[in-house]
Amino acid sequence: MERFRNRKIAVIGAGVIGGAITEALLPYCTVTATRRKVDRLERLRQKGAEITPNNLSAAEKADLVILAVKPGQVIPVLRNIAPACAGKLVVSFAAAVTLELMKKATSEARLMRAMTNTAVLVRRGYTVFCRDDRTTEEDMTLARAAFACLGECEQVDEQFLDVLTAMSGSGPAYIYTVVESMINGALRVGLPRDIALRAAAHTAIGASQLLLASGKHPAELRDQVTTPGGVTIEGLYELEESRIRTAFMKAVAAASSRAKDIAAEVRSAAEREIERGGNHAENQAGNMPSVK
Ligand SMILES: NC(=O)c1ccc[n+]([C@@H]2O[C@H](COP(=O)([O-])OP(=O)(O)OC[C@H]3O[C@@H](n4cnc5c(N)ncnc54)[C@H](OP(=O)(O)O)[C@@H]3O)[C@@H](O)[C@H]2O)c1
């Protein structure tokens, strides 16, 4: 970690996820955060980030460049900062934009693609990443040190990134839906709102931690808490009647299929821009589809 402290990281596109990544990195290294509406970065500046609307100068100063712009902006932004990225590691957190496509926009940089979620704000993100074949072991050390500031991380094959976008990226929305539904259920039978929220959230954390620590299948852990003729089985029966597991299986499949569709749209739009060449690309960026 001591070596990491001297590192300079540029976060290009410090919006929701880029801002959260910036906050998570700030205690450990120097971070320059960029976006066009730079006044919206004031809170990050107060927390110790350097801020600028100038992507190129931020990338020039950095040892590691993190991209957190919308998928449609990745290629135009990469082309703009390419001279500053030569010989450096660039990690894109944008959904859908492949390493192959990024390589076309910045042939001299070494590249990684990653996906995470907003739990990085409390250092509980689950970051998955893949790397291009030019990345070095030193790049891996640097990237892993940065990802460690965000929570857990794991290297995966690039082919899984679309479904992992539906799991890690979109997952918090599904968990919040479950937690909210449990809160509403408790409100319905008269539990005060604040206790209901804490009970639902802590139960979700505890169950997840036990799942990971035990190495057991969720069905086995569920069975352990399901007494014959007891309370839990009554609730489970209602959930089964609502086809809860089918609903979640369909949700993840639908989200991952949507991520794949958008990836294809982004890819063809970016390929058209790369073929056209020039700064024209930057003006067209807003027309590309976005993934969230
Ligand atoms: N939100 C999530 O939970 C999440 C999780 C994992 C991955 N992602 C991925 O992260 C990316 C960003 O998502 P988001 O939800 O954080 O979107 P967002 O809040 O809209 O952030 C994107 C940021 O990029 C900035 N930006 C746009 N063009 C720029 C440019 N040319 N130079 C510098 N900054 C620029 C925008 O600010 P200005 O308009 O001021 O420039 C905006 O703040 C997406 O690709 C998404 O797939 C998101």
Give the number of other CB atoms < 10 A from CB of residue 204: 15
Question: Which of ligand 1's atoms lies nearest the C-alpha of 53?
Answer: 33
Distances (CA, A) of 47 to 10, 189, 210, 281, 283: 15, 43, 34, 34, 32
Question: Which of ligand 1's atoms lies nearest the C-alpha of 96?
Answer: 47
Q: What are phi and psi of 91, to 5 degrees?
A: -115, 120
Measuring CA to CA, which residue among 41, 43, 22 is closest to residue 146?
Answer: 22
Measuring CA to CA, which residue among 157, 126, 153 is closest to residue 142?
Answer: 153
* Ligand 1 pocket mutation pick from 21, 23, 69, 262 by most atoms within 8 angstroms of CB: 69
Give the pLDDT of residue 260: 86
Give the pLDDT of residue 1: 66
In the chain, ranges of CATH 3.40.50.720 domains = 2-159
Q: One digit per residue, pLDDT tens: the chain, 292 residues?
A: 667 888 999 999 999 999 999 999 999 999 999 999 999 999 999 999 999 999 999 999 999 999 999 988 999 999 999 999 999 999 999 988 899 989 988 989 999 999 999 999 999 999 999 999 999 999 999 999 999 999 999 999 999 998 999 898 999 999 999 999 999 999 999 999 999 999 999 999 999 999 999 999 999 999 999 999 999 999 999 999 999 999 999 999 999 898 888 888 887 887 787 777 654 434 333 344 445 5
Give the pLDDT of residue 263: 80
In the chain, ranges of CATH 1.10.3730.10 domains = 171-242
Give the pLDDT of residue 2: 63
- Identify the residue whose tokens are 């932004």: 77
- Lining ligand 1 with CB less than 6 A are 12-13, 15-18, 34-37, 55, 68-71, 73, 77, 93-95, 115-118, 169, 291-292
Pairing relationship of beta strands 110-115 and 125-131 according to DSSP bridges: antiparallel
Give the pLDDT of residue 270: 75
Nearest-CA residue for ligand 1 atom 33 is: 35
Q: What token pair was written down for 173?
A: 């929305």
154 Cα to the center of ligand 1, angstroms:
22
Q: Which tens digit of pLDDT belongs to each residue from 115-157?
A: 999 999 999 999 999 999 999 999 999 999 999 999 999 999 9
Q: Which tens digit of pLDDT belongs to each residue from 68-109?
A: 999 889 999 999 999 999 999 999 999 888 999 899 889 899
Give the pLDDT of residue 275: 75
User: HEC profile for 218-272?
Assistant: HHHHHHHCCCCCCHHHHHHHHHHHCCHHHHHHHHHHHHHHHHHHHHHHHHHHHHH
For the domain spanning 2-159, the CATH number is: 3.40.50.720
Give the pLDDT of residue 273: 75
Give the pLDDT of residue 226: 98
137 Cα to the center of ligand 1, angstroms:
28
Rounded to a whole number of angstroms, the CA Rg of the chain reads 21
Give the pLDDT of residue 280: 41
Give the pLDDT of residue 285: 35
Nearest-CA residue for ligand 1 atom 8 is: 94
> What is the CATH topology of the domain spanning 171-242?
ProC C-terminal domain-like fold (1.10.3730)
Give the number of other CB atoms < 10 A from CB of residue 40: 13
69 Cα to the center of ligand 1, angstroms:
4
Question: Which of ligand 1's atoms lies nearest the C-alpha of 36?
Answer: 41
Pairing relationship of beta strands 64-67 and 89-92 according to DSSP bridges: parallel
Q: What token pair was written down for 277?
A: 């060449």
**Amino acid letter at 44?**
L
Give the pLDDT of residue 282: 41
Percentage of the chain modeled with pLDDT above 70: 93
